[in-house]
Chain A
């Protein structure tokens, strides 16, 4: 698959705009998921994921074909999400408790896409809980945990994506794992 994508990117570089659609289709779920988990909001995630692909297209000539395309693309997406999180006003967090709901936050108000049978409800609650715990991690740990365990990048690749020294990546993944362990040990 990587080979096919490499071919498509060569075509894009030659000016074939239509070839880019296949690249988008191949990576859209991964990039969207990454943005969604980083940002915690579907609308903004779509916005940023789109922006990431558009930037990749516009800057396709700065992509070095000897390297993995996915690391390059993720780097664009991660930078955009980090920028967005920085600009965000602090009171906009989904984690913020909604007044008068006794501990409920915005997560509990997010509508799920489809209705599920009752026996799946418990699994869904666990899912939501885990996702919430991930979402509550500080972004610098969250991004690394996701890249490593949801998107299967090696530590070396993560260090390239985030432009961080290997030592920092290792320290952060250790701390991220420990933080999540504390939150999820009783599940």
Chain B
């Protein structure tokens, strides 16, 4: 075995811990008969020990403190962006929620005009819708963003969205029976957004499941 080439190569392999068993046997065999290589390996091992024996250096005082002082201050939007990146599902849910809410709100806002489902024969004064005496509305009556006064008859359900049913004050101070009008159906008043949403949902389901 050539001391300067093969044996040396094997020694370093040995030191790096990636020598095969066969190679190790070869090296051992060689070392037994070669004092020069023995000395060489011994010197290498001693060198490593000497390197490892050197004093450990420690960081100067307040090192961590100084680092912390030099860290860039995060801008708020960076922090938010980072948060969003960290929580993609929450972000998706939030975006969905925003779209949903703006959709609903715009639908709500859109309907700030007075609308009446079937205005024939009805009197409209400002935001007041009047069913005059002697007039009969066949079918449901829906009034949105207006008050309703019924002197006549409604043959169906009355739905009031963002409005109230106005009744003439009776002489006894009570509203009961003071209105001459008659509703032959349900009266439903919707004047809060959640009720309105609920009503819309109900309406949707009714639409889906009603059998014509």
Contact = CB atoms under 8 A, between A and B. Distances in A.
Which secondary structure characterizes the binding site on chain B?
A: helix
Interface string B38-65: 0010011011101111111111100110
A32 B30 CA distance: 43
A130 B54 contact: yes
A17 B78 CA distance: 13
Contact of A17 (B12, B44, B47, B74): B74
Interface size class of B (residues with CB under 8 A): 20 to 34
Given A29-B59, A32-B60, A32-B63, A20 B51 contact: no
Given A29-B58, A131-B54, A50 B43 contact: no
Given A14-B83, A17-B74, A155-B16, A177 B48 contact: yes
B67 A134 contact: no
B83 A15 contact: yes
Given A177-B44, A177-B48, A184-B47, A46 B63 contact: yes
Contact of A174 (B12, B70, B72, B83): B12
Which secondary structure characterizes the binding site on chain A?
A: helix
A14 B82 contact: yes
A149 B79 contact: no
Given A14-B82, A58-B72, A150-B51, A184 B46 contact: yes
A149 B16 CA distance: 11
Given A13-B86, A173-B16, A177-B44, A184 B67 contact: no
A177 B47 contact: yes
A36 B74 CA distance: 30
B27 to A, nearest CB: 15
B54 A127 contact: yes
B16 A49 contact: no
Contacts of B44: 177-178, 181
Interface residues of A, number: 42
Contacts of A54: 67, 70-72
Contact of B67 (A14, A50, A181, A185): A50
Interface of B: 12, 15-16, 40, 43-44, 46-48, 50-60, 63-64, 66-68, 70-72, 74, 79, 82-83, 85-86
* 4 residue pairs, one from A and one from B, having the closest CB atoms: A32-B59, A28-B59, A33-B57, A24-B64
Given A28-B63, A127-B55, 11 more contacts: A14-B83, A17-B74, A24-B67, A28-B64, A49-B63, A53-B67, A54-B70, A150-B54, A177-B48, A184-B46, A185-B47
